[in-house]
Structure 1
Amino acid sequence: MKNLKKIVMFGILLAVPFFIAACARYEDYPIDLEQLSEEERLVIRFSHVVGEDTPKGMAARKFAELIKERSNGRIEVQVFSNGTLYKDMEELDALMREDVQLIAPAISKLTDLVPELSIYDLPYAFDSLEEVHEFTESEAGNRLKNLLKKHNLIALGLWDSGFKQISNDTRPIEHYKDLKGIRMRIMQSDILAEQYHVVDAIPRKIDFNTVFQSLKKGDVEGQENTLTNITSKNLYSLQKYLTISDHGYLGYFLLFNYDFWKKLSKEDQQLIIDTLKEVQEWQWNLAKELNDQKLREIEDCQCIDIYYLSEEEKKDWEKRFSPVYDYYAHRYGEYYIRNLPKNLKVQ
């Protein structure tokens, strides 16, 4: 009998831990979402065409890291940089086919779809990056972003590259007249083409990933871009002259395929929106810091002749470029021009 009691007590003692575990609440235990199947995960393929050490490249990685951390690994953002997945002129079509779910193209590259977006390309349209951000979140800016939805695209953020500078290997550009006859690489934008037509330069629309080779082969003599893009692609090594002109803004819309976006749960949408907003603030500061840093590095290397436009000279350039504003207004109306922050200040 005593042996029987011992056996029963031993059995009870063995059962206690299993009983406690069975009664414990599910949420008391961490869930290892890394072990989820592909069907249970949400995968977002993010393609972009610039280097990983640019403000856009670094922000893309930060966004991917934060989303993975905040979703406990359930949402995975796969970042493909430097055009490794799709080239400059391919990624928009890939997004529309939902071969990728997220891209961050230069706004200029969206102007074939929504020509009104070329307001961002107008020379000296913005006096500061803060004005760009203000305009993007204004009624006019939101109207522009809503036009993208007609093309199954939704813009959920704006990342800066910064203000563009001009380089070439023909002669110093100290006055807009010095641009005459120079073949200049530009992005896919009729407004940018008109900008150079106005000063008798020769614009050439060329894919960003092939700019280095185009400069090397002599297909073009010059180009415009931000300092972080100029240095990340080592473009300045092929150029003799650099003009710090700050003549135009270059930024990127964070674009999701709209059908894909609408299929996400409200919770996932909110997580992505909140994270992008946080990364956007971080990226804005980073872009300014890196462009300032790259200018110092170029100055220190003494490998290219640099000319800095004065504020007075910039005003002179802006006045010369006024026909480009007429070109825009004739085609797309004056609403967006009137609502540029600098114009609102004088109304």
Structure 2
Amino acid sequence: MKSMLTCLGLMVLGIATALFIGFHDRFTSEVTYYDDEQEGLKDQIVFKFSHVVAENTPKGRAANKFADLVYKKSGGSIKIEVFPNGSLYSDNEEMNALQNGDVQFIAPSTSKLGTLSPEWGVLDLPYAFTSYDAVQKGLNGKIGARLFASLERQHFKGLAYWTNGFKQLTSNKGPILSPDDLKGQALRIMPSSVIEDQYRLLGAYPRQDSFNSTFQLLESRLVDGEENTISNIYSKKFYNVQDYLTISNHGYLGYAVMTDERFWNSQTEKTRSILTEAMKETTEWNESSAEQMNKEQLEEIKKNSAISIHVLTKAEKLKWMKRLDPIYGQYEPVIGRGLIQELLSLRRQP
């Protein structure tokens, strides 16, 4: 009897010990211990930056650089999550997402902003800028200031202008040397009445559609061609589904980096200071690197593609400018005489 009680006691003690060990192991495995660095991550602020182009483009690279600079300048306390290629929102959805607080930064093409104010159409005028220097003079001067002021009515805040470059023409219907060569061609364009009327003036059939639908439209032959910068033609491989490329530099493509005014005002002075400083450095870097990137990627297209490339001569370009000049008069009542005259004065500068 005594030995039976002893065995029973040992059994109970063993079960209790096992339960204690199991409870201790489970407890310690579930507890999260923080060192000083991990403790700081609990207070990290995360903002979202949505855009629709590839990462190896001027905008894509600038967005990533901005995120890197913010992280470094804030000591890791502010993180910018970048969502490229329309992976979060399409270019038709970005502005609503910004207003709803679903993202904190976007960088739509300036053509998209004509839906907010017709004044933005000034940047879509044909041959609006004749050089990268002219672009910077215009956007860092009266034109850029006036356009950012127009965003305030919708409670948007313009933070910077990022440059991609100048637009070129691609097509599957023969080389495009003169304005008449576009007659009858269907072309994908950005949503912009100014751009649409340019092509209608030349007898083409413009189709406004989102950027990320362009490759499919070209591949399925729903359109004959499109207009874009070299970096976009290269990164999205439009040259694989197009036979002809004309270096026309007929239009400017850039982006307005924007945030919601209410979001911006709700941030601390320190946070705004970090974001502003990082944006300034990123913009200066973008201005110096975009032109070079387009040049390098044109060389890559030449190496890796059979697409036929024609560069407009000075005489050919003057013919294009003359044919498209009536658009300026047509849109002066819409855009405003002051903005157009400011633009034309830049165009006349050497």
TM-score using structure 2 length = 0.87
- Please state whether the residue corresponding to 2:161 is helix, strand or coil: strand
What pairs up with 1:195-344 in 2 under 5 angstroms? 195-340=198-343, 342-343=345-346
Deviation at 1:323, TM superposition (A): 1.4
Q: What letter corresponds to residue 279 of structure 1 in structure 2?
A: T
Q: Extract unaligned runs of 5+ from structure 1.
A: 1-30
Deviation at 1:303, TM superposition (A): 0.9
Deviation at 1:34, TM superposition (A): 5.2
What pairs up with 1:138-153 in 2 under 5 angstroms? 138-153=141-156
Identity %: 41
- Please state whether the residue corresponding to 2:115 is helix, strand or coil: coil
Deviation at 1:328, TM superposition (A): 1.2
Q: CA deviation digits over 1:134-191, x for unaligned, max 9? A: 1112123212111101111111111111000000101110101000010010001000
What pairs up with 1:145-224 in 2 under 5 angstroms? 145-224=148-227
Q: What letter corresponds to residue 232 of structure 2 in structure 1?
A: N
CA distance in 2, matches of 1:222, 1:84: 25
CA distance in 2, matches of 1:101, 1:343: 34
The Cα RMSD (Å) is 1.6
The structure with the larger Rg is 2
Deviation at 1:286, TM superposition (A): 1.9
**2:70 paired residue number:** 67
CA distance in 2, matches of 1:302, 1:67: 38
Q: CA deviation digits over 1:224-282, x for unaligned, max 9? A: 00011011111110000000000000000110111101111222212211111111111
**1:48 paired residue number:** 51
CA distance in 2, matches of 1:45, 1:32: 26
CA distance in 2, matches of 1:134, 1:332: 19
- Please state whether the residue corresponding to 2:249 is helix, strand or coil: coil
Task: Count residues in correspondence.
Answer: 315
Q: CA deviation digits over 1:29-51, x for unaligned, max 9? A: xx95653365x332210000000
Q: Extract unaligned runs of 5+ from structure 2.
A: 1-34
Structure 2 vs 1, CA of residues 313 and 141 (structure 1 numbering), >3 Å: closer, same or farther?
same
Q: What letter corresponds to residue 250 of structure 2 in structure 1?
A: H
TM-score using structure 1 length = 0.87
Structure 2 vs 1, CA of residues 344 and 240 (structure 1 numbering), >3 Å: closer, same or farther?
closer
Structure 2 vs 1, CA of residues 179 and 69 (structure 1 numbering), >3 Å: closer, same or farther?
same
CA distance in 2, matches of 1:108, 1:323: 19
Structure 2 vs 1, CA of residues 343 and 74 (structure 1 numbering), >3 Å: closer, same or farther?
closer
Of 104, 108, 115, which aligns to 1:112? 115
CA distance in 2, matches of 1:41, 1:306: 49
Of 124, 127, 136, which aligns to 2:127? 124
